[in-house]
Amino acid sequence: TYNPTYTSPTLQREGGSMEQEMGELRRYRTQSISRGEFALSDSFYFYRKGLESIVDDQVTQRFSSEELVSWNLLTRTNHNFHYISLRLTVIWGLGVIIRYCVLFPLRITLAIIGLSWLVIGTTLVGFLPNRRVKNWLSELVHLMCYRICARGLSATIQYHNKNNKPQKGGICVANHTSPIDIVILANDGCYAMVGQSHSGLMGVIQRSMVRSCPHVWFERSEMRDRHAVTSRLRAHVAAKSNLPILIFPEGTCINNTSVMMFKKGSFEIGGTIYPVAIKYDPRFGDAFWNSAKYNMVSYLLRMMTSWAIVVNVWYLPPMTRQEGEDATKFANRVKSAIAHQGGLLDMAWDGSLKRDKVKEEFKEQQQKMYSSMVVGKKARNSQEPHTESTRR
């Protein structure tokens, strides 16, 4: 049987803090780490961590498709594949014919209808005056088009705790697995999208959508200006009649097994945060977009030739910043709630490691931790005799 929260045993790594693990390395020596002195055995801690990262890298494996417990009769992902039986091969061949010759033409037709109606419908609604009728028609068109597109993916969606659905004037934040996350969430309600302005077909869709609904599109130059982005989002949230903003704070797609660091910018805007957890069932199709391996066209082809897109969506209770809580701590609190509800691994690493190198500050953090253990404790130990003599 398949367990949707299954993770490979190699993803769970035992170990405590740096001080505890170094204490274990020193236990056969008379020298204790509490004395705050350097020991040659301390270097083995860093050697071991380096080897663990090479053998079982917990970060970069989040940027490739998750391992399945059993084969789902889709593309073979096991490079060590060996022939099993004629029956299984025949079943797989029939599946290819059904998926590519029957399901795919129907799905591509539905997708074209949905996108065409989205452009035409939002453009027509955009000519109406800014009144309640326009807002109602805009939400109706968006909802109808997204539901048609969801049918084009054979999406089977189960929504939980609908009483916690994002409300107008709020900010909806969710974990990010795929570009179709937007379709999955917008299938149950309308959102104001946030993103960079594009050209080509995507630009046509964006310009038509913004005619009827206050989506927030930024030019490339504006995206680099953090204050400009924050001020525009804050102005959108201030108008309580505006649709909730949909934001994916990870900034990149993660492979449906974990939640990585949330960028704090989304939590500096103010207002109410509505967390949403999204968890796909990989038995019927891998929804994760590995942008380093597939372009958008190849990815959508994989989606439309899978068996189905089966997903669970949990609406979590709204959250606000507590007194004395900064944006980083608030972001981590929301991220932990989403990870717990979705059965995902809560990770502190930045998703930008998908494309960038490890930041120097992460290396410096490890150096500071070790320095504080050795230098800091040594300084405290040297002060203790002075304190005793003063008391006497």
pLDDT, tens digit, 9 for 90 and up, residues 129-138 = 888 898 899 9
Dihedral over Cα of 180, 183, 185, 191: its sign: positive
How do residues 70-120 score in pLDDT, each as one tens digit? 666 675 444 555 566 788 778 888 888 999 999 999 999 999 999 999 999
Work out the average pLDDT over 184-207. 85
Classify the C-alpha dihedral 71-75-80-86 as positive or negative: positive
Rounded to whole angstroms, the Cα distance separating 259 from 236 reads 27
- Is residue 12 scored above 50 in pLDDT? no
Instruction: Give the pLDDT confidence score for residue 231 in this predicted structure.
Output: 83
Specify the pLDDT at position 77: 45
More confident call, 359 vs 384: 359
User: Measured on CA atoms in the order 252, 153, 172, 316, is the torsion positive or negative?
Assistant: negative
- The pLDDT of residue 294 is 83
Neighbouring-strand partners of residue 381: none
User: If you average pLDDT over each of 37-41, 78-82, 155-159, 323-327, which comes out highest?
Assistant: 155-159
Whether the pTM exceeds 0.85: the reply is no
106 sits in the region (left: phi over 0; alpha: psi -120 to 50; else beta) called: alpha
Of residues 389 and 83, the one with the higher pLDDT is: 83
What secondary structure, in 3-state letters, does the chain show?
CCCCCCCCHHHCCCCCCHHHHHHHHCCCCCCCHHHCCCCCCHHHHHHHHHHHHHHCCCCHHHHCCCCCCCCCCCCCCCCCCCCCCHHHHHHHHHHHHHHHHHHHHHHHHHHHHHHHHHHHHHHHHHCCCCCHHHHHHHHHHHHHHHHHHHHHCCEEEEEECHHHCCCCCCEEEECCCCCCHHHHHHCCCCCEEEEECCCHHHHHHHHHHHHHCCCEEECHHHHCCHHHHHHHHHHHHHCCCCCCEEECCCCCCCCCCEECCCCHHHHCCCCCEEEEEEEECCCCCCCCCCCCCCCHHHHHHHHHCCCCEEEEEEECCCECCCCCCCHHHHHHHHHHHHHHHHCCEECCCCHHHHCCCCCHHHHHHHHHHHHHHHHHHHHHHHHHHHHHHHHC
Instruction: Decide if pLDDT at 219 tops 80.
Output: no
The pLDDT assigned to 184 comes to 95
What is the pLDDT, as a whole number, of residue 233?
Answer: 85
d(CA 152, CA 114): 8
